[in-house]
Amino acid sequence: LLSPAPSQCSLEMLTHHYGDIYEHSPWVAEAAWQHGLTEAHDTPDALAELMGLMLQQASSEQQISVIRAHPDLAGKAAMAGELTQDSTSEQAGAGLDQCSPEEFARFEYLNVAYKEKFGFPFVIAVKGLDRHGILDAFEARLNNDAATERQTAIEQIIRIARFRLRARAEQ
């Protein structure tokens, strides 16, 4: 179970404790509170499902702003130590901090090409992937059209949020 229990939280408490589950986007937690939380939402997966629904129902402008709140994978902000705690541990968990100079250069090239094509950064739930798997997915997704890629990014962000909530409950 999540602690504090989401169903017992004021709007301010929910935002304080769960506002960072979606990267720099506390409005997703606020929308879940406005929707109405019951004891059924006190598990990580149930809260994750409701928050995910809030994001799926948001306008495409709001969805794109959440995608844009994500840092590049193996990017300059990561190297400068400027990421949120969650992003730092997710990127390190996939070994992205251990890239060879050639792999960093490949990420740099793909980060630029992807943002040029879609206008937002490449987001993927990296849990269970290593940097080779991430690079393969990166190359494949670069071939998608913009609408497919926006929906794929949103689905991946919802997965990331579920992993973050599960990790929060285990502490």
At closest approach, how far in Å is the CB of 20 from ligand GUN?
Answer: 12
Residue 70 has what DSSP assignment?
S
In Å, what is the CA distance from 29 to each residue of 20, 37, 154? 8, 11, 16
* 6 is a contact residue toward ligand GUN (CB under 6 A): no
Stretch that binds ligand GUN, among 53-61, 102-110, 123-131, 138-146 (CB under 6 A): 123-131
- Smallest distance from ligand GUN to CB 137, Å: 11
Q: Is 70 a catalytic residue?
A: yes
Rounded to whole angstroms, how far apart are CA atoms 7 and 111? 39
Shortest Cβ 88–ligand GUN spacing (Å): 8
- Residues contributing to the site for ligand GUN (CB under 6 A): 70-71, 73, 87, 90-91, 121-126, 160
